[in-house]
Amino acid sequence: MQLTQGAPRRAAFTIGWFVAILWVLEIVDAVLPARLDAYGIRPRDTGALEGIVLAPLLHLGFGHLIGNTVPLLVMGFFLALSGLRTFVSVTAIIWLTSGIGVWVVGQGGTVHIGASGLVFGYLVHLAVRGLVTRDGAQIVLGGIMVVVYGGMLWGVLPGAVGISWEAHLFGALGGLLAAFVVPDAPRRARREPPPAWA
C-alpha cells in the first residue's frame, strides 16, 4: 500500500463526514421525532424498495448508532486511505449487496436498519484484499483488523432476536466481492511499466 501525501487527512475527512451524517439523521429522528426508522428495508415489499438505499443511514436509537460508530470510523478510515474512488466503490458494493440480500431473504414483516452491514463488509474487505493484491502492508492491516474485530463475524449467523444477521452476512459477502472487483489503484500503478522515451 502506497500512501500519497495528505491521504490520512483526506481519509479522516471522508469517513468523518459520513459518520456525521448518520448522527445528524439520528438527532433529527429523536428530536422531531421524524419516524425515519420506518424507511428501512422491508423484505420482499416492492412498495418499499427505497429501504435498500436508506437503511444504512438509520439507527434504532443512539445506543445502536454508538455501537456502529467506532468500527465505522476505524475501518472506514483504513479503507479511505486507498482513495475516495476506492472508498465509494467498495462502500457502494457492500451497501447494495447487503440491502438486496436482506430484501430477498429477510423475514417478512420486519424492518431492517443500521450501518452494521457496512461494518461487516469493511471488515471482510480489509481482511481479504491484501491476500488478493498480495500487498504486504494490506495483509498486515487485514490481520490486525481480524484480531481486533474478528469476533464479531459470528454475527453473520442467526442469533439474537432483533439483530439483522442477514445484513451482517450479505454485508460481509459484499466486502468479499469488492476485494475482487475493485482495483487497487496504488498496486496497479506499480505494475504498469515506465513510459518509453522515443
For residues 187 and 1, give the distance between their C-alpha atoms in angstroms, rounded to a whole number: 7
The upper half-sphere exposure of residue 137, i.e. CA atoms within 13 Å in the direction of its Cβ, equals 10
Residue 183: asked if its preceding bond is cis (omega within 30°), the reply is no
Residues 6+ apart with CB under 8 A from 184: 82, 86, 129, 132, 133, 135, 138
Residue 10 has pLDDT above 80, yes or no: yes
The upper half-sphere exposure of residue 18, i.e. CA atoms within 13 Å in the direction of its Cβ, equals 25
* 112 bridge partner residues: 41
**Averaged over 102-113, what is the pLDDT?**
94
Q: pLDDT tens digits for 22-67?
A: 999 999 999 987 799 999 999 999 999 999 999 999 999 999 999 9
**Averaged over 135-149, what is the pLDDT?**
94
Pull the grid cell for residue 58: 438509520
Domains and CATH numbers, the chain: 7-180 (1.20.1540.10)
Q: pLDDT tens digits for 169-193?
A: 999 999 999 999 997 654 444 444 5
Residue 194 has pLDDT above 80, yes or no: no
CB 117 within 8 A of CB 168: yes
Reported as a pLDDT band with limits 50, 70 and 90, residue 197 is low
Answer positive or negative: Cα dihedral of 156, 162, 166, 167. Answer: negative
